[in-house]
Amino acid sequence: MSSIVIENISKNFGSVKALNHINLELTEHKIYGLLGRNGAGKTTLLNLINNRLFPSEGQILFDGINIENNSSIQNQFYFIGEKSLYPDSMKVKALYKYTKMFHPDFDETYAYKLSEMFGVPLKKKLSSLSTGYKSIVKNIVALSVNVPFVFFDEPILGLDANHRELFYKVLIEKYIDQPATYVLSTHLIEEVSNIIEEVIIIKNGEVIKNESKEALLDNGYSISGPTGLVESYCSGKELIGFDTLGGLRSAYIVGKPDENIPQGLELSGMDLQKLFIQLTNI
Ligand SMILES: Nc1ncnc2c1ncn2[C@@H]1O[C@H](COP(=O)(O)OP(=O)(O)OP(=O)(O)O)[C@@H](O)[C@H]1O
């Protein structure tokens, strides 16, 4: 079973510690959500894995071999980020041809099928595509390239709600059909919550959570109601945080709820976005 092991990685930009002694393992055939607030270090991590940056400390291994400047390893990864590596004057059709030259397993037929589903204007130059279609074309390439590890940095940037739904649907279908590892870095947590299996949360350059979504959400719950009742219920419990909306106080609590919830309080399951906000608030 192939895996990427991130060993004690730090990356400094001058005095900025973008990543600070990160340890992680990315395994085969999983969908990861890479979550973190603005500036947390997500793009830096993806750039390091994909050899677009090099670490200040530590190493990244693929099946035990250092990935640095190893092109046969890099051929097994595909990264789509904000920065396009293609010439702006290239047309979409030419991009598909070009990708096939460098990635022999790129499935052109599938790319054309997806292009039709998303309504991609194939004859347009990349520079003249709208923001949403630029993202869509990059996503189509990433979904068609057929390598074991695919990294998406903000894949849904600029996509309308219909195209986002379609993207999630296509990604899941592709994953079921030809499993690979997908790492999705995004701020649209509520939406990706339905499709990710593993959650990695980065805060200020450090990994603060790295576990399955199921385990993460199973080990917490929320209680809502009038402030006094909520606060007395919380006494002696391990709290993640509170929020208040229109006079209703909600508490996010670690562990399993008591069997009997006092009258006037409402019990709900933990939700990934709420948990994320509480964990990364400070
Ligand atoms: N090339 C660079 N030069 C200097 N500082 C950088 C550079 N790239 C990133 N940084 C800094 O490193 C930190 C992490 O940035 P990074 O882009 O990895 O965050 P991010 O989690 O992807 O954020 P966002 O969600 O806003 O895209 C930030 O403080 C950023 O300003």
* Most ligand 1 atoms within 8 A of CB, residue of 19, 22, 44 to mutate: 44
Cβ atoms of 249 and 226 within 8 Å: the answer is yes
Q: Is 38 in the pocket of ligand 1 (CB under 6 A)?
A: yes
> For strand 220-225 and strand 266-269, is the pairing parallel, antiparallel, or unpaired?
antiparallel
Measure 16 CA to ligand 1 centroid, in angstroms. Answer: 9
Q: Is 47 in the pocket of ligand 1 (CB under 6 A)?
A: no
Query: Within this chain, do residues 123 and 247 fall inside the same structural domain, yes or no?
Result: no
- The reported pLDDT for the residue numbered 192 is 94
Query: Within this chain, do residues 83 and 180 fall inside the same structural domain, yes or no?
Result: yes
Furthest CA-CA distance within the chain:
66
Nearest Cα residue to atom 1 of ligand 1:
13
How many domains, the chain?
2
Write out residues in the chain with pLDDT < 50, as ranges: none
Nearest Cα residue to atom 23 of ligand 1:
39
Identify the CATH number of the domain in which residue 194 sits: 3.40.50.300
The ipTM of this complex is: 0.98
d(CA 180, CA 27): 10
Question: Tokens 């990349």 appear where?
Answer: 126
Q: From the alpha carbon of 41, which atom of ligand 1 is closest?
A: 18
Nearest Cα residue to atom 25 of ligand 1:
38
- The reported pLDDT for the residue numbered 85 is 72
Of 168, 193, 212, the position where a domain reaches its end is 212
Nearest Cα residue to atom 8 of ligand 1:
44
**pTM score:** 0.93
Of 181, 212, 243, the position where a domain reaches its end is 212
Q: Is 39 in the pocket of ligand 1 (CB under 6 A)?
A: yes
pLDDT in tens, 15-69: 999 999 999 999 999 999 999 999 999 999 999 999 999 999 999 999 999 999 9
Nearest Cα residue to atom 12 of ligand 1:
18
Query: Within this chain, do residues 155 and 228 fall inside the same structural domain, yes or no?
Result: no
Q: Is 81 in the pocket of ligand 1 (CB under 6 A)?
A: no
DSSP state of 207: E
- The reported pLDDT for the residue numbered 170 is 98
And the tokens for 174?
């592709």
Instruction: Find the angle CA(280)-CA(187)-CA(92) to the nearest 5 degrees.
Output: 155
Q: DSSP characters for 16-36?
A: EEEEEEEEEEEESS-EEEEEE
Cβ atoms of 280 and 242 within 8 Å: the answer is no
Query: Within this chain, do residues 226 and 198 fall inside the same structural domain, yes or no?
Result: no
Full residue range of the structural domain in which residue 257 is found: 219-280
